[in-house]
């Protein structure tokens, strides 16, 4: 999976608000605090139920 959108943070963790609409809950090994509220590119694996196991988060 390779998606772009806006990285958001809530009480449960991180979300990707997708450019194509909708959102994914992200499972992250590192906390990308520098990218919160910014447009990012997320690469990883879709785990089902709207959850993505992210391998990388970078500025888009």
- Calculate mean pLDDT across residues 52-57: 95
Rounded to the nearest integer, the mean pLDDT of the chain is 95
Overall pTM surpassing 0.85 (yes/no) = yes
What CATH number should be reported for the domain whose range is 2-59? Answer: 2.40.50
CA distance 49 to 17: 15
Residue 30 confidence (pLDDT): 86
Residue 37 confidence (pLDDT): 96
Spatial CA neighbour of 10 closest among 30, 25, 20: 25
Residue 32 confidence (pLDDT): 82
Q: What is the pLDDT of residues 2-52, one digit of tens each?
A: 999 999 999 999 999 999 999 999 999 888 889 999 999 999 999 999 999
């Amino acid at each position: 999976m390779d998606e772009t959108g806006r990285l958001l943070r809530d009480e449960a963790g991180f979300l990707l608000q997708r450019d194509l609409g909708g959102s994914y809950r992200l499972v992250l090994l590192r906390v990308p605090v520098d990218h919160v509220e910014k447009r990012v590119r997320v690469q990883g694996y879709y785990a089902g139920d709207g959850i993505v196991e992210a391998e990388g988060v970078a500025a888009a």
